[in-house]
Amino acid sequence: MLRTLIVFVLSNIVTLFMFTQGLVRQRGALRQVLDRPALYLRALLVVLVLVPLVALAVVMLFRLPTVVGSAVLLMAVCPGAPLQLNQAKSFGASPTTSMNLLMLLCVFSLVTVPFWVARLDVRMGVDFEATPALVFRLLAVKIFPPLVVGIAVQRLFPRAAAALAPWCNRLFTVLLLAVAVVLLFIVGPQLLKVAWLAVLALVVMVTLAALLGHWAGGPRLEDRKAVAIAAAFAHPVLSMTIISQSYPNLRALQVAGVVGAYVLIRVAALLPYRMWVKRREDSTRSRWPHGGVPA
């Protein structure tokens, strides 16, 4: 019963999160994509093409075992994690750029994820299944409809949306924390099983992905951070579902534990980037006390 409940919450918490984002979505935010096409083209190139290639190079360089290497590569080719919006907020990244990039990644991932998974099957000798229909169910169905409904509520009933948004956000936070606490007991043993070479490879890959995203997001620092986070993060639910669909004999919580361990390592690997960006911000403020310059 507990296992079923955890898997259900993990699969559907994104829906609640995107509905909440729709309730607070700013008018005209999507117009930025048309106003700044070069920014989003660079970001898509980095996240959808360069990051998977970097991950492949890292796996080959470190000569990771097939199971470990295929898991690293799978998470590199599954972008569009909604929770990157939370990380963007904590980093001080542009929420508009983060949301627009998330929606674009969800659209393009319908094509790129099946393509990269097919290449991964050939390169690593695994048998992952990622049909366009599976990716569509997880990305398009769970992200766009609740976002559109949230935006519609905001447009039609602005007062109700303003009152409902904080409660939805609190419910999301409570569910996320509850599941995180339970998963920690599962992830803990999995972390001990992750070889130090795999950890080092993940750190190198996340660092390179963040730096590529930082370059692609220029010239504004808040955009650099938004793209860097999108490049460094993976979609854990999509990765978990692909593994579960490909190997149905594996237990769902076991898969969640493995994916969760890799997610925690990714979050920890972003700490040096966070510190580096903060130092640059502090340096800019000290030199330009009356207004910063693009970093």
pLDDT for 194 equals 61
- Position 292 in a domain: no
Q: What is the pLDDT of residues 89-130, one digit of tens each?
A: 888 889 889 989 988 988 899 899 999 998 888 888 878 888
Q: Which residues of 58-87 are buried (b: 16+ CB within 10 A; e: fewer)?
A: bbeebebeeebbbbbbbbbbbbbbbbbbbb
* Sequential pLDDT tens for the chain (295 residues): 555 666 666 667 778 888 888 888 777 777 888 889 999 999 999 999 999 999 999 989 988 887 778 888 888 898 877 777 878 888 888 988 998 998 898 889 989 999 999 888 888 887 888 888 888 887 777 788 888 898 899 889 989 988 998 898 888 878 777 766 666 666 556 555 666 777 888 889 999 999 999 999 989 999 999 999 999 888 777 887 787 777 766 555 556 666 766 777 788 888 888 888 888 777 766 666 655 545 5
Q: What is the DSSP string of 246-280?
A: H-TTS-HHHHHHHHHHHHHHHHHHTHHHHHHHHHH
Q: What is the pLDDT of residues 22-43, one digit of tens each?
A: 888 777 777 888 889 999 999 9
- Position 28 in a domain: yes
- Position 156 in a domain: yes
Identify whether the C-beta of residue 241 lies closer than 8 Å to the C-beta of residue 167: no
- Position 290 in a domain: no
The whole-angstrom separation of Cα 159 and Cα 104 is 29
- Position 294 in a domain: no
Domain CATH for 243: 1.20.1530.20
| CB within 8 Å of 142: residues ≥ 6 apart | 11, 12, 14, 15, 18
The domain of 152 spans: 2-283
- Position 288 in a domain: no
- Position 295 in a domain: no
Domain count of the chain? 1
